[in-house]
Structure 1
Amino acid sequence: MAKESAIVDAVARARAHAPFLSLLLDREPDLAELLESGAMPSLDVVAVDDPDMPVPKRLRLERRRLALIVAIGDLSGTLDLTAVTHALSDFADRALNAAIHAAILEKMPGEEPRGFAGIALGKQGSRELNYSSDIDPILIFDPATLPHRAREEPVEAAVRIARRAVEILQNRDGDGYVLRVDLRLRPSPEATPLALPVDAAISYYESLALPWERAAFIRARAASGDLALGRHFLTAIQPFIWRRALDFGAIGEIRGISRRIRDHHAKGQAFGPGYDLKRGRGGIREVEFFAQIHQLIHGGRDVSVRAPATRDALAQLAGAGWIDGDEARDLASAYTLLRTIEHRVQMVDDLQLHRLPEGAPLENLAHLHGVESSAALLDLLHPHVERVGRAYDALDPPDSGGVTFDADPLAEELAAAGFTDGAAAARMVTHWRGGSYPALRSEAAQSALEAVLPGLIKALATAPDPNAAIAKLDQMLSRLSSAINFFRLLEARPALARLLALILAHAVTLADSLSGRPELLDGLIDASALGPVGSVADLAGVMAAGGGDYQARLDHVRRIVAEKRFALGTQIVAGTSDALDVAAGYSRVAEAAIEVLASATIAEFVSVHGRVPDSELVILALGRLGGGALTHASDLDLVYLFTGDYKAESDGKKPLGAVLFYNRLAQRVSSALSTPTAFGPLYEVDTRLRPSGTQGPISVSLDGFERYQRESAWSWEHMALARARPVFGSVAAREQVAAGVTAVLHGDRPVRDIPADALAMRAEMAKHKPPHGPLDAKLLPGGLVDLEFAVHIVQLTRHIGLDPNLGKAIAGLVAEGAAPAELVEAGAFLTRLLVILRLVAPDSAIPSAPTQALIARALGMADWAAVVATLETTRQEVSRYFAEITGANDGD
């Protein structure tokens, strides 16, 4: 009985406090009788079953019946907000569809209604339509399929159909109207026809659309007319809506809209009588913008957050971890109540109003909602409005003050901020403002610069050497072709500006990468960018997700690799990861790139040349990749092998012998891994460790490789083999290669004087490749090369510690009593130092004091003096061990 009494009570409140609903009750006596008895009619009874009735009259009657049922269902709580908005939106879809079809058939009787579609935007698109809302569709047509009369141009027919459909929906008579229609969301409404050719519309949204239009299309849906045409249009413009490399100008534009709304509707900002439920601070629009801003930021990369409806979007964003779960629930609850009260405002007189009334009308509204007074209604709303306002204010903080243009005060301002040479920094800022660099010449670029300058200067001032950081930024800006999106990104994500300052101040390698590709900074907007990069399989899955032709797939991999390597380097600068973990991450990224690029290259190659039966390509990694500890600058030491009979022939339309087949294929794989493109270089590939070095073929059969290692390889080649690891090929093929390598390392090879050969080779290396600087952790006496040589000698002579990873190999030797325990930490320290220096001091020279502090922090040491002392101690330990293993004299 509770439900029935709620319905009866709702009818009574409607009659007493909503003239529009009272009128509907009088005009729909059958429905009124049901409702007054406590029964809730099904929405199906809305339909008018009279095929002879003109479409406009039928739709007006249906809308009237729907408005009554939905209103009483809403007031009684029988229908929740979702059911109310879905019912209103679905009717709008049906009504627009009926109007389009009627407009076509009026002039072309018997024709199949096709080639004309209504794209629902706004609340209709997300099925969140207001009780008395208008609709904002975009109307498109296909000139090739739209029915039209002889001698009539398709565009003329489309405009005629659009105009008639609008008339059907919004013309009024004694039965009221169907829907108000606003077509002003179409591109350039003052200059374009009411309906747009689909190809022209696609072209506009791909190239000319304004940033706010992207937000509008988050909620777009093919709603009426030719749905296949509508879906084709929306699919075509998906890249415009969801960009992986985000144009942060779109977010700035949405925030700008919010600010303009607050200014324009200032009277409705203060909460109380007269408050604007839609546009006021803490109102409906701010909940919607809060969700849309986060969707634009993350939706290009995370498909799960592309929900059109506001509350669904909040839930998805929270579920994906992009926003706080409690905040999402608070905003959703506020949205539900605000929309409910907004509907009450509109039910009174069927007007598209959003503002709370004042005085007696507010008291009347409170009674319509079912509370005792206007004060009670305001008390109900107030905490929700406050929560929304705080959440949105945190997302969109007040504008910071600008930076002065006057030279002397600017220099003083910069000096006060922390720049040691304020005048020099001021000259650079003045230089930027003068548009001296190509990237800064446009009005849009200057506007973006001024917007970000206060926060950027503040961030640069936090760098250990602010003048060095701003000088590096100046160098970077001089190389950019456009700086607008770069500035918009920093404006939208202040934390990135601080991270940029660290990169510019310390990491010359990363700063140089940014100079050529500032969009690399986009990859850091996700918090996950400063964490582990995932497994090889996970990375390969992301890299393989790029579609398109072979070149497009290669470019997709290059983009992902560049982003991942940049993010890994940033982890060291930001102090969020151990350098050993970063080195392992670099290696996983490279291994995934090999997996995806080799697979794509093979697919492309076999489409022409077929496959060699019972044979496959296997890639063997050596060096730092084999050991799973790359640096940012490491080459890939690869050996290309193939299984099966080397005398076989491929089975394609252009067959090749196996040797020629795999040599050409290996060259193409190397090219895919190393050829620079617009996305930058990927890796340098070094194949000199293959049998016979540069004199031998780039790819050899597995049998030939094993025979060479067993019979002909030199000691240095066997030492290199100690770090060999298959990184491409089937499981069976990898196991076969690994078994062959293991056999050689366990002694299936010529007997040689390994220590003497290694000592001679190290002396030759010292002569031709001396250390680059006083911090060369690799080539200095007692550095990584000496440690690796000593470990390889023991591995080959005693057949122990056989792991391609240097750290695990050393641990294995220590466990066997073949190396002192302190070498474990020595190897870890030298590896960490090498990985760090490749980013911040690639020349191995002594860096500036601020960068010294960063290196110490990254190594987990107290200060630079501790780093220097540890390097010296470590080199002595390694030198002693090297001398012991080789029989050489101790000393540097």
Structure 2
Amino acid sequence: MSLASRIKKFPHAVDQTRGQDVAGSFSGPLARLIAGAAGSSNHLARLAQAEAEWLHSVAEQEPEETLDALCTPPEGDPAKMLRQAKQRVALLTALADLGGIWPTMQVTAALTRFADMALDHTTKHLIAAESARGKLPATPADAGYVVFAMGKMGAGELNYSSDIDLICMFDETQHAPEDYAEVRATLIRVTKKLTQIIGAQTGDGYVFRTDLRLRPDPSTTPVCMAMEPAERYYESLGRTWERSAFIKARPCAGDIAAGEAFLDRLRPFVWRRYLDFAAIRDVRDMMHRIRDHKGLSGPIEAADHDVKLGRGGIREIEFYAQTRQLIAGGRDASLRTRGTLDALSALERAGQIPPGTAETLTAHYTALRDIEHRIQMLDDAQTHTVPRNTDALKRLAALCGCDDTGAFLKALTERLVAVHAICMPPEAEDERPQAQFETDGGTRQITDAWPNLPALRSPRAEALFHRLAPGILKRLSGAADPHAALVHFDSFLRGLPAGVQVFSLFEARPALQDLLVEICATAPALARYLGRHASVLDAVLDREFFAELPELDAMERSLMMALNDADDYEAKLDATRRWQKEVHFRIGVHLLRGIADGHSAEKAYSDLAQCCIAALLPLVIEEQAPRHGAPPGSGAVVLGMGKLGSFEMTASSDLDLIMLYDADAADMSDGPDPLAAPQYYAKLTKRLITALTAPTSEGTLYEVDMRLRPSGKQGPVATSLAAFRRYQSREAWTWEHLALTRARPVAGPPDVQEEAAQAVAQVIALPHDAQKVRADTADMRRRLMEAHRPGSIWKVKQGPGRLLDIDLFLQAGCLLTSACNADIADLVLHDWLNQEEAACIAQTRKLMSTLQAIGRVALDDEFDPNRAGPALIEVLLAQTGFDELDALRTELESRIDTVSALISDRLA
């Protein structure tokens, strides 16, 4: 359909006489559209008169076809031809915009497309001229010269009279080192000519105003830089606003492939997996400085308001999207989009902004962009300010299809206020921290010590905390035990080595303050954990954080993604620790919130440990290989024992491990310094233990205990499968066979894992002396009871009828029945337990494991009502299904007595 036939709406003409004069040679809807545009816009009146003949020639064409022709590189002098084409593009897009033919973002895309062509055509023209002089290779690709479109042009969002922000670079690796100086000088010259051709105002007009000031340190660097020093700048000195700017960066002219490669190398600078949350405050402060400098602060009034930079304007919506992209884009690649509206949609899909926000802000954004375009159409001025002059304001309203300037200003003011309320909510009141908290001497003693804590020593951290403290303390005051919650919050603060990043995060995401207060009210141990590992709060921003806990395969994929971002062995150790701490924290929060029960948490903690071991084993093999070669034989397998083996880990469990390998003693590795299998795997085992236990900049992973290996402390740290079989069948004590009932492979080649699992099953299936197993188990039980007298009924780990007692009993049943493992259901099938006994033990164990899991997360110890506040007791009662603690205590006492009697009877 033609331009004329697709017109849907018409601007109003303030000067109807001029409008009719300009539109006189046209007819139909096109005449009415031109009359309205020319009657209210001086600029469009001039364009329509100057290009009347051309406009007649394209009136019956599709506007997209016309745009295609205008975006075809012209023949001849680009300086003159591009200026004529720019006038026609300006007229075409204005009419398509005002006539409702193209929606807002199609208009911005058309302007951007023409800018791309103009820059690329001029670049090729200039490069060819320098190549003809022998200064450069024959093509832009060979020269490695690239122009990056930044800001609105990079995002495909140019406004009607926009300038274009550019950064020009070249890939120095495409040139011989001895040519560097000449190539650099030549490309600086090319850049200056490019901006002159595109940006200079001549008798034929201009193409686009250009701005090169977004390049690194523009006051001291040339207009065209080599990529290597630019990369070094961003890595060492790059600022938050530059990270934000590169969200929209796009190579638009020259060597596009070199530009894409540069952006890929810059990705870790822009998209940080573990975000500096102070970035949000940096960008917010920058916006405030711009407003203050331009006098844009104060109440929102549409007249004389800057719809781009002013309060509630276009930049606020862009800031809202970009800051949230910076927050979560390092973890979620779907958020790494250049366009503002695409970013809003992606953020809503990812759960990073409330439902409906994208649609609301999209409507506001397009409406404000429409008004911005019409402001610029008045006189082709690079302005975004609503006129105060009565005549200009009337013409602007008319271009927007409104004859009532009062109604126009009222509607615009309401829109600006609505945007501001969403994008820039009020900050916390500046008041003393104690103002909203019931204070006593103890409370004042705590809060008075805060200014001396490491987290609050910098002026910036102190200022941030001063804004946050009233809201946090108000939340703490609502806890069931406010003073205890404050004490635990104090523990969190004291654990922070620095505060700017965390306080910036809390300011950016107030909901995280609620989570912190919830943790301080229920779980002092988790509050201390947060103080030591505050970076785990990043994980809460992930849309999956409160979803069901991941299974092992999902954990493995997630950890692999984290490791892929790390470059070397040390970085991978750090990445594993960061990832583990995030998932560990997530499990604890799920348990406290009742999203996961005790059994699910035990399984998740066990999967988490297995995932780390399985990921680190190949890494330590790879680290050992350059010197000692690949593993001899078929490889090594790690057996998980104890709570890891039985999927019953808690928040504070260590790892009981055995390392087995499938190789003959005479097998040698093939490295420069070859080792026999026993020595090779002993060294590998020590490396793995170090990888798990050594403190790095990100802390440690787990404590490791290998005393369950054959011969205990006296035996080698790694044992061959053959030796393992011999030892277990000929020399092992009953307690070692009991322990083996919980063994399972957790890392290593699948075929070796299968062999190890078969070896364990064969040992368990061996004929055992029933009387000896019962006697040895009873003796072990007696010694455990003597060494660990529980005292309190809440001490559920050790003592008659408690967790270790149940585990020992089930393990004995496994040996006596040759069951596959010490599983209650399996032992029923093997007649070690009847259904009633199995139900009693299972329910008792579930109750006690829930108590233990919650105690370990919240108190870093077993549950103790004297240390647990009201909030934690409420969590425990909800998890166990009791209305009050006394009822839980009575039930626990009864169950423990019943189970203890059952075990004593069966082992007698």
TM-score by length of 1: 0.88
Aligned match for 1:315, one of 345, 348, 366: 345
Q: Does 1:243 align with 2:243?
A: no
Q: Report the CA distance shift for 1:51/1:528 in structure 2 as closer, same or farther (over 3 A).
A: closer
The 10-residue stretch of structure 1 (844-853 or 127-136) with the greater mean CA deviation from structure 2: 844-853
* 2:431 alignment counterpart: 403
Instruction: Map residues 488-637 of structure 1 onto 2, 5 A cutoff.
Output: 488-545=504-561, 546-547=563-564, 548-611=567-630, 615-637=634-656
- Give the drift of 1:578: 1.5
Instruction: Map residues 179-198 of structure 1 onto 2, 5 A cutoff.
Output: 179-190=208-219, 192-198=221-227
* 2:23 alignment counterpart: none
- The Cα offsets for residues 485-529 of structure 1, whole Å up to 9 and x where unpaired, read as 121112222222232234344434333333333222222233532
* 2:842 alignment counterpart: 824
- Give the drift of 1:792: 1.9
Q: Report the CA distance shift for 1:489/1:804 in structure 2 as closer, same or farther (over 3 A).
A: farther
- Contact 1:794–1:885 (8 Å) recurs in 2: no
- Give the drift of 1:325: 4.7
Secondary structure, counterpart of 1:321 in structure 2: coil
* 2:87 alignment counterpart: 64
Partners of 1:796 and 1:267 in 2: CA distance: 78
The aligned amino acid for 1:6 is R
Partners of 1:291 and 1:707 in 2: CA distance: 64
Q: Report the CA distance shift for 1:815/1:390 in structure 2 as closer, same or farther (over 3 A).
A: farther
Aligned match for 1:391, one of 387, 399, 422: 422
Instruction: Map residues 59-138 of structure 1 onto 2, 5 A cutoff.
Output: 59-99=82-122, 109-110=133-134, 111-112=136-137, 114=143, 116-138=145-167
Q: Report the CA distance shift for 1:610/1:552 in structure 2 as closer, same or farther (over 3 A).
A: same
Aligned match for 1:45, one of 47, 60, 69: 69
Secondary structure, counterpart of 1:118 in structure 2: strand
**Aligned residue pairs, count:** 870
* 1:234 alignment counterpart: 263
The aligned amino acid for 2:591 is I
Q: Does 1:443 align with 2:467?
A: no
Q: Does 1:213 align with 2:215?
A: no
Q: Report the CA distance shift for 1:212/1:864 in structure 2 as closer, same or farther (over 3 A).
A: farther
The aligned amino acid for 1:719 is L
Aligned match for 1:170, one of 167, 189, 199: 199
Secondary structure, counterpart of 1:630 in structure 2: coil
Aligned match for 2:719, one of 700, 708, 712: 700
Partners of 1:608 and 1:344 in 2: CA distance: 70
- The Cα offsets for residues 17-73 of structure 1, whole Å up to 9 and x where unpaired, read as 3332332233334421124446534323226876542x3223322322222232233
- Contact 2:591–2:854 (8 Å) recurs in 1: yes
- Contact 1:455–1:494 (8 Å) recurs in 2: no
- The Cα offsets for residues 610-644 of structure 1, whole Å up to 9 and x where unpaired, read as 44666232222121111112011111112222235
Secondary structure, counterpart of 2:555 in structure 1: helix
- Give the drift of 1:147: 11
The aligned amino acid for 1:60 is R
Secondary structure, counterpart of 2:795 in structure 1: coil
Q: Does 1:290 align with 2:320?
A: yes
Partners of 1:290 and 1:595 in 2: CA distance: 40
Q: Does 1:354 align with 2:388?
A: no
- Give the drift of 1:317: 1.8
Partners of 2:825 and 2:301 in 1: CA distance: 65
TM-score by length of 2: 0.87
Q: Report the CA distance shift for 1:750/1:881 in structure 2 as closer, same or farther (over 3 A).
A: closer
Secondary structure, counterpart of 2:202 in structure 1: coil
- Give the drift of 1:826: 0.1
* 1:785 alignment counterpart: 804
Q: Does 1:885 align with 2:885?
A: no
The aligned amino acid for 2:783 is E
- Contact 2:630–2:671 (8 Å) recurs in 1: yes
Secondary structure, counterpart of 1:42 in structure 2: helix
Secondary structure, counterpart of 2:775 in structure 1: helix
* 1:431 alignment counterpart: 449
Partners of 1:678 and 1:503 in 2: CA distance: 25
Q: Does 1:224 align with 2:253?
A: yes
Q: Does 1:742 align with 2:758?
A: no
Secondary structure, counterpart of 1:819 in structure 2: helix
Secondary structure, counterpart of 1:599 in structure 2: helix
- Give the drift of 1:221: 1.8
Partners of 1:533 and 1:848 in 2: CA distance: 26
Secondary structure, counterpart of 1:544 in structure 2: helix
* 2:876 alignment counterpart: 855
- Contact 1:502–1:574 (8 Å) recurs in 2: no
The 10-residue stretch of structure 1 (104-113 or 165-174) with the greater mean CA deviation from structure 2: 104-113
Secondary structure, counterpart of 1:529 in structure 2: coil
The 10-residue stretch of structure 1 (302-311 or 751-760) with the greater mean CA deviation from structure 2: 751-760
Aligned match for 1:301, one of 302, 323, 331: 331
Q: Report the CA distance shift for 1:428/1:740 in structure 2 as closer, same or farther (over 3 A).
A: same
Q: Report the CA distance shift for 1:386/1:343 in structure 2 as closer, same or farther (over 3 A).
A: same
Aligned match for 2:857, one of 821, 824, 839: 839
Partners of 1:663 and 1:91 in 2: CA distance: 66
Partners of 1:443 and 1:197 in 2: CA distance: 37
- Give the drift of 1:216: 2.0
* 2:814 alignment counterpart: 795
Aligned match for 1:459, one of 444, 466, 475: 475
Partners of 2:658 and 2:117 in 1: CA distance: 65
- Contact 2:788–2:799 (8 Å) recurs in 1: no
- Give the drift of 1:383: 7.7
The aligned amino acid for 1:401 is E
Secondary structure, counterpart of 2:647 in structure 1: coil
Partners of 1:810 and 1:282 in 2: CA distance: 69
- Contact 1:615–1:645 (8 Å) recurs in 2: no
Partners of 2:94 and 2:822 in 1: CA distance: 73
Q: Report the CA distance shift for 1:573/1:777 in structure 2 as closer, same or farther (over 3 A).
A: same
Let me know the Cα RMSD of the aligned residues: 3.5
- The Cα offsets for residues 528-574 of structure 1, whole Å up to 9 and x where unpaired, read as 32343312121112212223222222221121111111221233334
* 1:407 alignment counterpart: none
The aligned amino acid for 2:800 is P
Q: Does 1:664 align with 2:693?
A: no
Secondary structure, counterpart of 1:727 in structure 2: strand
Partners of 1:677 and 1:874 in 2: CA distance: 45
The 10-residue stretch of structure 1 (43-52 or 684-693) with the greater mean CA deviation from structure 2: 43-52
- Give the drift of 1:597: 0.8
Q: Report the CA distance shift for 1:159/1:481 in structure 2 as closer, same or farther (over 3 A).
A: farther
* 2:20 alignment counterpart: none
* 1:890 alignment counterpart: none
Partners of 2:287 and 2:816 in 1: CA distance: 73
Q: Does 1:710 align with 2:729?
A: yes
- Contact 2:161–2:376 (8 Å) recurs in 1: yes
* 2:4 alignment counterpart: 4
Secondary structure, counterpart of 1:625 in structure 2: helix
